[in-house]
Amino acid sequence: MELARLAGQVWVRDSKDPEGGRLQFGRASFAGLLVRVKRGDLGL
């Protein structure tokens, strides 16, 4: 996974498939996602 901050957004892509799809999050949304991952809310 690769992350980039561009124009107030966080972009995410699969480093093994750099030509594949990308996800774009607002900074607050991405921060919320990280909180949920750390708490174990997503069953990952």
**Residue 35: other Cβ atoms inside 10 A:** 10
Give tens-digit pLDDT for 1-44.
999 999 999 999 999 998 999 999 999 999 999 999 999 999 87
pLDDT number for residue 42: 92
Kind of pairing, strands 9-13 and 22-26? antiparallel
Is residue 13 one of the residues assigned to a domain?
yes
Is residue 23 one of the residues assigned to a domain?
yes
Is residue 10 one of the residues assigned to a domain?
yes
From the number of C-beta atoms within 10 Å of its C-beta (0-12, 13-18, 19+), residue 13 rates as middle
pLDDT number for residue 14: 95
Report the number of distinct structural domains present in the chain.
Answer: 1
- Domain assignment of residue 22, given as a range: 2-39
Is residue 44 one of the residues assigned to a domain?
no
From the number of C-beta atoms within 10 Å of its C-beta (0-12, 13-18, 19+), residue 36 rates as exposed
Is residue 31 one of the residues assigned to a domain?
yes
Is residue 33 one of the residues assigned to a domain?
yes
pLDDT number for residue 29: 96
